[in-house]
Chains A and B, each alone.
Chain A
Amino acid sequence: MNPVAIIGGSALVIGGIGFFVGIVLIWASQKFAVETNPLVDEVIEVLPGANCGACGYAGCADFGEKVVDGLAQIDGCPVGGFDTAKLIGELLGQEVKEAESIYPFVRCNGGLNCTDNIDYVGIEDCRAVMMTSIGEKGCKYGCMGRGTCVRACPFGAIEIGEDRFPHINKNLCKSCGLCVEVCPNGVMVMANDSEQVHVLCRSHDKGKAVKAVCEFGCIGCKICVKNCPADAITVTNFLAEIDQEKCTNCGQCVENCPQKSIVMRSTGVEAAS
């Protein structure tokens, strides 16, 4: 026998078996289908199907059942967002209001600008880095860039860039908030897209200590407080906080900040990397 005939023959046999088994399976799935509430199936159909658990239920199927039973909120799926909520609303005959798109961002400007205390060798996880006697970074408030959020993200929307910071791909991000929950230092926060001005620092250390470890840390100098026309900024414990309800996005504080720790975020969807 020549090799071509042998390989061709085996392919034919395997393919035939596959075809036959496929037909049997299709027949069986129709014959022995389990009766369910068709509404639940329809709701599950419009859900994203990531089974991330961000809604607080065991998965999309569980959430779908709960929504139909009235136990869960219609807009309870943070992944699908408004579109999904609208579709579920149509199915269940309820009205849904649109909410603003909301994305996580990192409230730290350190990364490579922040000094390192030690050379850390071990598992790649921020929480594991915190188990060492003093942290890896000079600043104990900042982003450690070891990617706990990356591993927590069920959509692969976060990547650690070369600047040792998590970068959020807004095309993939579904605003589920798992990264905010898991961040051990709490530097990952959610913000509405319209809120543009942010203090990229969380350090409550005194100015001198901040300057020793970080180029861009907030030192609590209160220049921004004096410059803000809307009185939206307060400094507590050497850290400026912006009241987003009062903020008018005028940019005065951004221009005057000596440490460049207040920045204006660019809005809109960033290009997918």
Chain B
Amino acid sequence: MKLTVSHPAHIREGVTINKIMWSKIAILLVLSLISAVVFGPKALAVVLISVLAAVLTEAGIQKLTKQELTIKDGDAVLIGLIMALLLPPTVDLWIPVVGAFFAVALVKHAFGGLGSTLFNPAIAAWVFMNMSWGALTGSESIPYLSGYTDLFIEFGSGRLAEVSSMVLIIGGLYLIYKKYIDWRIPTLYLISTIVMALLIGEELSYVITGMLFLGIFILAPDPTTSPITKKGRFIYGILCGILTVVYGYLTYDYVVAVLFTVFFANAVAPFIEKNTFPKPVNEVSA
């Protein structure tokens, strides 16, 4: 009889990276299917190509650098999926391929792979695509919330992610309930967005889009790129809300506002974190 010796704890809660990633993927897949209903099969093709490109890039890089293959943890799939959802259905099919390569190769693996990224790869890739081919990746329509049915299915949406806020809300609440994402960033982001919009006097129908909920529940609370301190996450959420409304107010596009917001917030996350290190409760005050 040989016993195992390890340090405590000897039991686990059972939440794993795989579970977190694949739950997010499941939610976004539902969203993709609804977008296929709204936009037709072209939307599904964008999603499939983007995911495939992301996965192949990851596999290629890990093969080349002789690392262990980590396709199973779902991170590459998630990157491809999110990136596809940020594009309009009319996009040329080579654009998601280039974008997925950029996201996985340059934003994820060049920085050290899972857990070491500075920017959310999908958003960084979107910013790259938007900067390079703005005309090709721009949307033709901006969603407007004209009634409660638009929360469930939005026919006026320009990008895949905007088709259904409700899927994202239900999915996001599920993620928070299962503790797969932190509650602070989504709550603060939502509250600060609404408060800020009311202060500025903006019509909420423009502010509340499917993309906002994608930002609130998937993009902003992305674990790697958000601060790890509790106070830091409060500030991060508030900052996201303010940036979204300010950018949207100036450009009249609250969809793109969310994406640039998360991109800039990612950039300042380490700074926020560094200035909000907690004080241990049992430390003597020096």
Contacts and interface: CB of A to CB of B under 8 A. Distances in A.
A116 interface: yes
Contacts of B7: 122, 131
Nearest to A3: B94
Nearest to A120: B5
Interface string B85-105: 000000010100010000000
Contact of A132 (B2, B5, B98): B5
A99 interface: no
Contacts of B65: none
Interface centre among B2, B5, B94, by most A CB within 10 Å? B5
A133 interface: yes
Contacts of B2: 116-119
Interface in A1-59: 3, 6-7, 10
B5 A118 contact: yes
Contacts of A121: 4-6
B133 interface: yes
Contacts of A120: 4-6
Given A6-B133, A10-B132, A122 B6 contact: yes
B64 interface: no
B286 interface: no
Interface residues of B, number: 11
Contacts of B3: 118-119
Instruction: Provide the main secondary structure of the chain B interface.
Output: loop
Interface residues of A, number: 15
Interface in A102-140: 116-122, 131-133, 136
A119 B94 contact: no
Interface in B1-19: 2-7
A119 B4 contact: yes
B101 to A, nearest CB: 12
Contacts of B98: 7
A247 B219 CA distance: 70
Contacts of A119: 2-5
A121 B4 CA distance: 7
Nearest to B93: A3
Interface of A: 3, 6-7, 10, 116-122, 131-133, 136
Given A119-B4, A136-B5, 13 more contacts: A3-B94, A6-B132, A7-B98, A116-B2, A119-B2, A119-B5, A120-B4, A120-B5, A120-B6, A122-B6, A122-B7, A131-B7, A132-B5
17 contacts: A3-B92, A3-B94, A6-B133, A7-B98, A10-B132, A116-B2, A118-B3, A119-B3, A119-B4, A119-B5, A120-B4, A120-B5, A121-B4, A121-B5, A122-B7, A132-B5, A133-B5
